[in-house]
Amino acid sequence: MSFLHPEFLLALAVLAIPIIVHLFNFKRFKKVVFPNVRFLKKVDLQTRSKNKLRHLIILLSRLLALTCLVMAFARPFLPADDDERKSSQHVVAIYLDNSYSMQLENEDGMLLSQAMAGAERIIDAYGRNDRFILLTNELRPEHQFLLSGEKMKEELGSITSVPESRSYSEMIERAKDALSRTSNASKHIYVFSDFQESMFDPVNLRADSILNTHLIHLEHLGQGNVYIDTAWFQSPIRSLHNPERLVVRVTNASEKEIRDLPLRLSIEGQQKSIGNISLRPFSSVDSVLTFTNPGSGWLGGKVSLSDSPITFDDALHMAYEVRDRCNITIIGDGLDRQKLERIFANDPFYEVRASNSRSLDIGSLASQDFIIMVGTEKVESGLTRTLSRFVQEGGSLCVIPSMDADRASVSELFLALEANAILEVKNKELKVTAIDLDHPLYTDVFDQIPENMDLPRVSSYLAFTSRVRSSEERLMTLQDGNPLLSSYVSGKGRSYIFSSSLSTAQSNLASHSLFVTSLLRMAELSTGQSPIYQTIGEDSPIVLKMKSDEKDKVYEISDESGSTSFIPEQRILGAETYFYDRGQVESDGVYDILSEDEVVAQVAYNYDRSESRMEFISESEVSDELERNGILDFDFIDPSSLNSRSPLIDGLAGRSLWREFLLLALLFLVIEIILLKFWRT
């Protein structure tokens, strides 16, 4: 018999304590005067013999209980010889965490290299008939099958660091599922990991007493990390002529203070901006980089800094579109439609089509960015369904009603847009008293409203019903609290509804600069913007608006060098096309979406930042969390014990005896309790 932790045998010295207590009886006897003890001598002799025997048996059970308890902590086992290893069957799952944080080092080198070496020694400890399953963060299809020891070593040699991060519960459950397909075998799971806090989730684990789980906790020397967390534009609109402001969040996940760290921005390979940032320990800073776009169309860029030893998160790639055209359709009659056409006529960015509701080509509306309906007195049900679907799929709609409109049909449209219905027409002289400056429609338009500013006025307007569940945002509010302009969200799009018309007899909207500004901003926001980057491994869709003749084409996603190229899964929902990469992107960078070798769009991919935080949990915290969630069948293996001379290696495939000794300790304690309670003198 051998021991995994022979140092616990030193605790056998505590056996001397009950022996000393037994030998030195400190009980003081009281002398009692008795006239004649001649008849009590025989009884006294019998009582002393029974007490002595009782004390000896109790002492023996106490010593055996303590001995078995110490032996259980020392983890005894019977080493398996070669014949036993060949005759018994073991199935072993080895999960090797190969995320980027395993590139950190300690005094023995890189953590990933230590894990690979430790896994090889565990394989050597088992017999030729034993089989192995390798699990890594890539979840490779070939890792779902049982492997021999030699084949397992070959697979270990091909492991490299990858950007994917997997939760602890996901990998343990995958290992259990793989092992459940085998029977009549001893099953073990070995976990090599640095146990990042963000990845450890024992609350999602299922307890399983059949499997033996062994945890190898690899600790680094405490190196920190500085990384680019995320980035976003301050404005939702990409412009060719106006300066862009990109906000970059940089995080310092280390104990040292960072001073004047250069932060660089390049667009289409040209450096556009540079900044210096300083960070306190364990803090984040948002830095604003200002630049101008070099042209229209799809542009790719990169923000970067320099940090080591973790470098995968030192760059953040992005791709976005600078639109050179906004497609607008105006539905209306007469002077009102002409007034709106003049607003957009002087800017070639806006391509305007005008039509009345009777001659309107409904099928062409899906390809538009912004639709304005002005002065329409009746809305047909077919147009209502088309406009509702247009907004649901991400379009923007502005409705400027007529005071003489058919309330029933217009209210039906409003309800289809998830807006409030018309209640009544009010004739009252009022002016606007409040503007929502925090809404994207007016962001950067006004810093504040001057007290004497001339705001729009109305003499006739529509009052609306109030709904309990409504997405209404009041952008302009009249003196009596009713809205002049409201915004509603429906599906992926947005609708803007005025409560007064453009007639000069009912309002001064048509001649007011705020009305013009509002319409121009609605048009700009309607062009929309996709996220500037995707995260590798999340498989979130890439959503693009395609023309009707482009939807049925076959598209390809390729990196700039052409080394990675694949056909994505494609779905068409209304006017939008969804692309799914399904895990085929492994490297960060800017990728082209191609159709017949022509670039129709770009998408940027970045590595998941969950591995960047460098927040780890200790061995004791891992143990506490597992026990708190009812997971008791696990033990820790010291990484230094995984060498050829370690008794651990000899005992991996042998028979463990610690459970038997623990049961014996409990048995002897029960015997002692029974003796103390029922054997009285």
- Residue 425's pLDDT band (boundaries 50, 70, 90)? very high
User: Is there a domain that residue 427 lies in?
Assistant: yes
Whether residue 55 is found in the same domain as residue 172:
no
Rg of the Cα atoms in the chain = 38
DSSP type of residue 210: S
Q: How does DSSP classify residue 506?
A: T
Look at residue 262 and tell me if it is in a domain: no
N- to C-terminal Cα separation, the chain: 41
Q: List helix spans (H) across 24-129.
A: 41-73, 82-87, 111-125
Contact between 503 and 405 (Cβ < 8 Å) = no
Per-residue H/E/C for 118-166: HHHHHHHHCCCCCEEEEECCCCCHHHHCCECHHHHHHHHHCCCCECCCC
pLDDT at 545: 77
CATH value at residue 196:
3.40.50.410
Which pLDDT does position 113 carry in this prediction? 92
Q: How does residue 115 score in pLDDT terms, banded at 50, 70 and 90?
A: very high
Q: What is the pLDDT of residues 302-329, one digit of tens each?
A: 999 998 888 899 999 999 999 888 899 9
Could you tell me if residue 241 is inside a domain? no
Per-residue pLDDT tens over the stretch 121-134: 898 888 778 899 99
Q: Which two tokens stand for residue 277?
A: 């940032």
* Inter-axis angle of helices 111-125 and 149-157, nearest 10: 170
The mean pLDDT of the chain is 85
Decide if 184 contacts 216 (C-beta within 8 A).
no
pLDDT at 442 over 90: no
Q: Report, as an integer, the average pLDDT of 408-427.
A: 92
Give the whole-angstrom CA distance, residue 223 versus residue 375: 67
Instruction: Read off φ and ψ for residue 58, nearest 5 degrees.
Output: -60, -45
CA–CA distance, 288 with 294 (Å, rounded to integer): 19
Q: What is the mean pLDDT of residues 464-491?
A: 90
Highest mean pLDDT among 231-235, 259-263, 596-600: 259-263
Tens of pLDDT along 330-349?
998 878 898 999 999 888 88
Kindly report, residue by residue over 159-201, the tens digit of the pLDDT. 998 878 888 999 988 888 888 887 767 888 999 999 988 888 8
Q: Determine the pLDDT at residue 4.
A: 64
| Residues 380 and 481 occupy one common structural domain | yes
Q: pLDDT-based confidence at 589, cuts 50/70/90?
A: very high
At 233 the pLDDT is 92
Same domain for 592 and 648, yes or no, is: no
Any domain includes 502: yes
Most distant CA pair in the chain, distance: 137
pLDDT for residue 399: 96
Does pTM top 0.75 for this prediction?
no
Instruction: Write down the residue that tokens 């006294």 correspond to.
Output: 44
Q: Is residue 461 in a domain? A: yes
Query: Cβ contacts of residue 65 below 8 Å, gap of 6+?
Result: 664, 665, 666, 668, 669, 672
The reply to whether 100 and 203 lie within a common domain is yes
Given pLDDT bands bounded at 50, 70 and 90, which one contains residue 268? Answer: very high
Condensed to tens digits (0 to 9), the pLDDT of residues 647-673 reads 555 555 456 677 788 888 888 888 888
Quick one: tokens of 301?
Answer: 């860029």
What is the Cα 50 distance to its own chain's centre? 71
CA separation for the pair 512, 502 (Å, rounded) = 10
- Phi and psi at 46, nearest 5°, equal -65, -40
Tell me the pLDDT tens digit for each residue of 83-106.
Answer: 444 446 789 999 999 988 898 888
Residue 232 in any domain: the answer is: no
| pLDDT for position 94 | 94
Residues 272, 277, 282: CA angle, nearest 5 degrees: 135
Nearest residue to 214 via CA among 102, 79, 90: 90
If one counts the domains in the chain, the total is: 4
Distance separating alpha carbons of residues 318 and 192, to the nearest angstrom: 34
Whether residue 408 is found in the same domain as residue 483? yes
- Asked, for residue 319, whether it belongs to a domain, the answer is no
Residue 599 backbone phi and psi in degrees, to 5: -75, 115
Residue 77 reports pLDDT greater than 90: no
One domain, residues 443 and 347: yes
Q: Is residue 414 part of a domain?
A: yes
pLDDT digits (tens, 9 = 90+) for 351-395: 999 988 888 888 888 888 999 999 888 899 999 999 999 999 889
**pLDDT tens-digit profile of 62-74?**
888 888 888 888 8
Q: Are 387 and 520 in a shared domain? A: yes
In sequence order, the 6+-apart residues with CB closer than 8 A to the CB of 575 are 366, 367, 390, 393, 394, 395, 545, 546
Closest CA to 291 of 244, 237, 242, 323: 244
| Position 267 pLDDT exceeds 90 | yes
Do 399 and 467 reside in the same domain of the chain?
yes
* pLDDT value of residue 544: 85
Strand order in the sheet with 226-233: 226-233, 244-252, 283-291
Q: Backbone dihedral region of 491: left (phi > 0), alpha (psi from -120 to 50 degrees) or beta? A: left
Q: Are residues 401 and 502 in the same domain?
A: yes
Residue that is written with structure tokens 């790719």 in the block: 300
Q: At what angle do helices 41-73 and 16-23 cross, to 10 degrees?
A: 170
The size of the chain, in residues, is: 681
Token pair of 439, please? 């809404």
Strand 576-580's sheet: what is its strand order? 542-545, 576-580, 569-573
Q: Are residues 473 and 553 both part of a single domain?
A: no
Residue 131's domain comprises 80-222+614-653
DSSP state of 644: T
Whether 590 and 672 share a structural domain: no
140 plus 50 within the same structural domain? no
Q: CB neighbours (10 Å) of residue 309? A: 12
